[in-house]
C-alpha cells in the first residue's frame, strides 16, 4: 500500500510518499526560514499562508520523483497536531478535502510520533524496544518505546525545550534565526570550559529537564561581557567571548541531555537509545551520546541529518506504519477534521 503524507505544523511544508514496507518513494520539502528571518522567529499567520502556496507544487514534485500518480495512493496521512493552529489547519484542510474528493482514508498523525519514528528511516534502523530522547523546538521528552503506538513518557522539560533554549540563547548573543544551527557552528571555535554554566536538574534523580535557568545564566554572563546592566538585543560582545559562551552553553545542555538520556535507558533496561527532533542534528550531542552509551553497551540511533527537523517523510512513514499495523484504517471514511494544536503523544 502507498501512503501520501503531509506536514505543515510549523514553518516547514513537507510532502512524501511512503509504502507500508517503509520505503520512501518521493519527498519534497520547503522551509520558510528565509521568510521568518526578518522577524527573528516564526510568524504564525505568514506560516499558514505560505503552506497553502506550497502544498500543491510540493505534492506534484513528490509524485514526479516517485513516478506514480494520485490514483496509486491508498491513504493520506497528515499532521493533526501539535503545532501552530493555523498552520495545522492549512495542511489538514487540504488533506481532508483531497481525501474526500478521492474517496481515500485519512490517517491523522501526531507530529511527535513522526519525529520519534524518523530514525527507523535510516540505513541502520533500531528495533523495538528502545528509549527515545526527543529534542525538538517545542519539546524535550524521554520516552520508553515498546512498539508502534506504545509510548511511555519518562520525563520532560519543566520549561523551555532544548531547541527553544538553543534558539533563545542564540538570539540573546546576536546570532541570526534559527539560532540552534548558528549557535552550534559558533561553538565549534569556542572554549567550552571558559564559563561555568549551570546544569539544571542534573542530579534531580528523575528524567525531568529544565533549561530556563541555563538561559538566564547565559544572559547574565553576556551582560557582564558587554558591560551593560540591562539586557538588550545585539549586545556588543567580543567575538572570542561570544564563541566561548556559545561553546559553554552547548556543553552544559549536551551534558544534561546525555546524562539523563543514558540514565533513562538504563532504568528501562533498554539496549537501544534513539534520538529524534531538530536538536538531534547537533554534532556534539551525537558524539557525546555515542561515547557515553558505548561504555554501557548501549547502541545509539539517529535520524538522517535532513530528517531531524520537520519533514514530510516522517509523517508519511508514521502513517504507513499505522496502516501496516492496522489495515482496517484503510476502510475509514470519517472526514470530521480535528486539528489539535496541543496534544500529548504518550499512550501510558
Determine which residue in the list 11, 50, 160, 167 makes contact with Mg ion, applying CB under 5 A: 11
CA distances, 290 to each of 193, 262, 272, 298, 305 (Å): 21, 10, 11, 9, 16
- For Mg ion (CB under 5 A), the number of binding residues is 4
Compose the 191-230 pattern: x for residues touching Mg ion by CB under 5 A, - for all others. ----------------------------------------
Cα angle value 199/201/204 (rounded, 5°): 140
Q: Is 135 in the site for Mg ion (CB under 5 A)?
A: no
Q: Are strands 75-81 and 140-147 parallel, antiparallel or unpaired?
A: unpaired
The least distance separating Fe ion from the CB of residue 302, rounded to whole angstroms, comes to: 15
User: Which residue's CB is nearer to ligand ATP, number 208 or number 266?
Assistant: 208
Does 161 participate in binding Mg ion (rule CB under 5 A)? no
Instruction: Provide the annotated binding site for substrate.
Output: 134-138, 167, 180, 282
The edge-to-edge listing of strands for the beta sheet with 12-19 is 24-31, 12-19, 2-7, 75-81, 106-110
Among 91, 86, 83, residue whose Cα is nearest residue 46: 86
Determine which helix (DSSP H) or strand (DSSP E) holds 239, and give its type and residue range: helix 239-268
Interface ranges with ligand ATP (CB under 6 A)? 9-10, 83, 111, 115, 136-139, 163-164, 166-167, 178-181, 184, 277-279, 281-282, 309-310
| Beta carbons within 10 angstroms of residue 67's beta carbon | 9
Answer yes or no whether residue 310 interacts with Fe ion by CB under 5 A. Answer: yes
Nearest distance from C-beta of residue 44 to Mg ion, angstroms:
13
Contact 244, 183 (CB under 8 A): no
- 302 vs 135: CA distance, rounded Å: 12
Please identify, among the stretches 33-41, 51-59, 133-141, 203-211, the one whose residues bind Fe ion according to the rule CB under 5 A: 133-141
Q: Which of 20, 62, 131, 136 binds Fe ion (CB under 5 A)?
A: 136
Pick from Fe ion, Mg ion, ligand ATP, none: which does 281 bind, CB < 5 to 8 A by kind? ligand ATP
CB of 277 to ligand ATP, least distance (A): 4
125 vs 105: CA distance, rounded Å: 28
The smaller minimum CB distance to ligand ATP, of residues 9 and 131, is found at 9
Going 192 to 198 to 203 to 208, the CA torsion angle's sign is negative
Q: Are 155 and 206 in contact (CB under 8 A)?
A: yes
Please identify, using beta-carbon distances, which residue of 97 and 306 lies nearer to ligand ATP: 306
Closer residue to Fe ion, CB minimum distance, 121 or 243: 121
> Nearest approach, Cβ of 138 to ligand ATP (angstroms)?
3
CA distance 270 to 195: 35
Query: Of 9 and 32, which CB lies nearer to ligand ATP in the complex structure?
Result: 9
Count of Cβ atoms closer than 10 Å to residue 103 Cβ:
7
Binding site for Mg ion (CB under 5 A): 10-12, 310
Binding site for Fe ion (CB under 5 A): 136, 310
Amino acid at each position: 500500500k502507498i501512503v501520501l503524507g503531509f506536514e505543515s505544523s510549523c514553518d516547514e511544508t513537507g510532502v512524501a510518499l511512503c509504502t507500508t514496507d517503509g520505503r520512501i518513494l518521493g519527498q519534497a520539502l520547503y522551509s520558510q526560514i528565509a521568510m521568518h528571518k526578518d522577524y527573528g522567529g516564526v510568524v504564525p499567520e505568514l506560516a499558514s499562508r505560505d503552506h497553502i502556496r506550497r502544498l500543491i507544487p510540493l505534492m506534484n514534485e513528490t509524485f514526479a520523483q516517485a513516478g506514480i500518480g494520485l490514483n496509486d495512493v491508498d491513504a493520506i496521512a497528515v499532521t493533526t497536531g501539535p503545532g501552530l493552529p493555523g498552520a495545522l489547519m492549512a495542511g489538514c484542510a487540504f488533506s481532508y478535502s483531497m481525501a474526500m474528493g478521492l474517496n481515500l482514508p485519512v490517517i491523522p498523525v501526531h507530529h511527535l510520533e513522526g519525529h520519534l519514528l524518523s530514525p527507523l528511516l535510516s540505513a541502520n534502523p533500531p528495533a523495538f524496544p528502545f528509549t527515545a530522547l526527543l529534542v525538538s523546538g517545542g519539546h524535550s521528552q524521554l520516552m520508553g518505546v515498546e512498539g508502534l503506538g506504545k509510548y511511555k513518557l519518562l520525563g520532560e522539560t519543566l520549561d523551555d525545550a532544548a531547541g527553544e533554549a538553543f534558539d533563545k540563547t542564540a538570539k540573546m548573543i546576536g546570532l541570526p534565526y534559527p539560532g540552534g544551527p548558528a549557535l552550534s557552528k559558533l561553538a565549534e571555535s569556542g572554549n567550552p570550559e571558559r564559563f561555568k554554566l549551570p546544569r539544571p536538574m542534573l542530579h534531580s534523580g528523575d528524567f525531568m529537564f529544565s533549561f530556563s535557568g541555563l538561559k538566564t545564566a547565559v544572559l547574565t554572563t553576556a551582560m557582564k561581557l558587554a558591560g551593560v546592566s540591562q539586557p538588550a538585543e545585539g549586545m556588543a560582545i567580543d567575538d572570542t567571548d561570544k564563541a566561548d559562551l556559545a561553546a559553554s552553553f552547548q556543553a552544559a545542555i549536551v551534558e544534561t541531555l546525555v546524562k539523563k538520556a543514558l540514565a533513562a535507558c538504563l532504568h528501562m533496561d533498554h539496549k537501544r537509545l534513539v534520538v529524534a527532533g531538530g536538536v538531534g542534528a547537533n554534532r556534539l550531542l551525537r558524539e557525546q551520546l555515542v561515547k557515553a552509551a558505548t561504555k554501557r553497551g548501549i547502541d545509539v540511533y539517529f535520524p538522517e541529518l535532513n530528517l531531524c527537523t520537520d519533514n514530510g517523510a516522517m509523517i508519511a512513514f508514521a502513517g504507513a506504519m499505522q496502516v501496516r499495523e492496522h489495515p482496517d484504517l484503510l476502510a475509514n471514511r470519517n472526514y470530521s477534521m480535528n486539528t489539535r494544536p496541543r496534544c500529548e503523544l504518550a499512550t501510558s
